[in-house]
Amino acid sequence: MGFDLIIFDWDGTLADSTGRIVDSMQRAGRIVGLPLVTDAQVQNIIGLGLPEAVETLWPAIDEEQMAAMKECYARHFVSDSPIPMGLFAGAETMLARLQERGVLLAVATGKSRRGLDRILDDLTLRHRFAATRCADESRSKPDPLMLQELLAQLRIPASRALMVGDTTYDLDMANAAGVAGVAMSHGAHDELALLGCRPLAMCHSIAELDVWIAQAL
pLDDT value for 82:
85
CATH number of the domain encompassing residue 65: 1.10.150
Average pLDDT for 107-134: 94
Q: How confident is the model at residue 135 (pLDDT cuts 50, 70, 90)?
A: very high
CA distance 36 to 28: 10
Using CA atoms, how far apart are residues 207 and 217, in angstroms rounded to an integer? 16
Q: Based on the domain organization, do 28 and 54 belong to the same domain? A: yes
Q: pLDDT averaged over the chain? A: 94
In whole angstroms, give the CA distance from residue 10 to residue 32: 27
Q: In terms of domains, do 11 and 24 share one?
A: no
Number of structural domains the chain divides into: 2
Residue-wise pLDDT for 50-85, tens only, equals: 999 999 999 999 999 999 999 999 898 888 778 888
Mark which of 62, 80, 98 sits at the end of a domain. Answer: 80
The residue-averaged pLDDT of 80-102 equals 92
- Are 145 and 92 in the same domain? yes
Sort 17 into a burial class: Cβ within 10 Å, 0-12 / 13-18 / 19+: buried
Same domain, 47 and 142: no
Same domain, 125 and 69: no
Residues 211 and 150 in one domain: yes
Q: What is the pLDDT of residues 204-215, one digit of tens each?
A: 999 999 999 999
CA distances from 185 to 56, 77, 87, 190 (A): 23, 23, 15, 7
Is the domain of 173 the same as that of 93?
yes
Q: Please state, for a pLDDT cut of 90, what percent of the chain lies above it.
A: 83
Is the pLDDT at 107 greater than 90, yes or no? Answer: yes
The answer to whether the beta carbons of residues 163 and 147 sit under 8 Å apart is yes
Same domain, residue pair 49 and 137: no
Are 106 and 131 in contact by the 8 Å Cβ rule? The answer is yes
Judgement on whether residues 109 and 146 belong to the same structural domain of the protein:
yes
| Residue range 89-114: mean pLDDT, rounded | 95
> What local confidence, expressed as pLDDT, does residue 198 receive?
97
Q: Do residues 74 and 115 make contact, with C-beta atoms less than 8 angstroms apart? A: yes
pLDDT at 116: 93
pLDDT score of 54: 93
In this structure, the answer to whether residues 151 and 176 fall within a common structural domain is yes
Assess contact for 46 and 73: CB atoms under 8 A. no
Contacting residues for 24 by C-beta, under 8 A, at least 6 apart: 73, 76, 77, 80, 81, 83
147/198 same-domain check: yes
Could you list the residue range(s) of the whole structural domain that residue 40 is in? 18-80
Same domain, 140 and 203: yes
- Arithmetic mean of pLDDT, 39-43: 94
Pair 209, 164: CB distance under 8 Å: yes
Report the pLDDT value the prediction gives residue 201, as an integer from 0 to 100: 97
pTM score, two decimals? 0.90
